[in-house]
Amino acid sequence: MSTRRTETSPAGPSRHRNSGPGRLLIAVYGIFALAATARAVFQISTKFAEAPLAYLLTALAAGVYVLATVSLAMPGRRWYWISVGAVGLELVGVLTIGLFSLLDPEAFPNDTVWSLFGRGYGFVPLLLPVLGLWWLYLNRRGRAAEPATERASPTA
């Protein structure tokens, strides 16, 4: 059996992180990028004085979603690691903002995308980075480049 590895992409020669279920993940990230960007632009331009922290956090979330969308769609090792960073930052953000908005609701008089763990968006902002990191893990360089039979065999 050959264990030759190719250097074509972090996901190996036959599977790319932007194919199959990865396309759906990228589409959802794209929708959230558009929604969060539109929300941040509207909130910052019309009522910034009401809750500047919340609206700036929405803008931060929008930037993270844009970066995650682009990096998940792009091939290559560098884009893979940018994806890991963006999706990891998203998870830290939604957990941190979600917890703070739960413990101190007065600090967040208006919701952000990540408030209460994304409750206003059906908790998708909490689920999305978990799925994203799982997808990236499944498509990491070393695992995807190994033949499936060797991965399954404990003695290989």
What is the residue type of 32?
Answer: F
Domain ranges of the chain: 21-141
**Alpha carbons 22 and 6: distance in angstroms, whole number:** 21
SS3 state at 9? coil
**pLDDT value, residue 57:** 92
Degrees to nearest 5, angle at CA 16 with 18 and 83: 55
**pLDDT value, residue 154:** 54
**pLDDT value, residue 152:** 52
Show the low-confidence residues of the chain (pLDDT under 50).
Answer: 1-14, 144-151, 156
Cβ contacts of 73 within 8 Å, gap of 6 or more: 18, 26
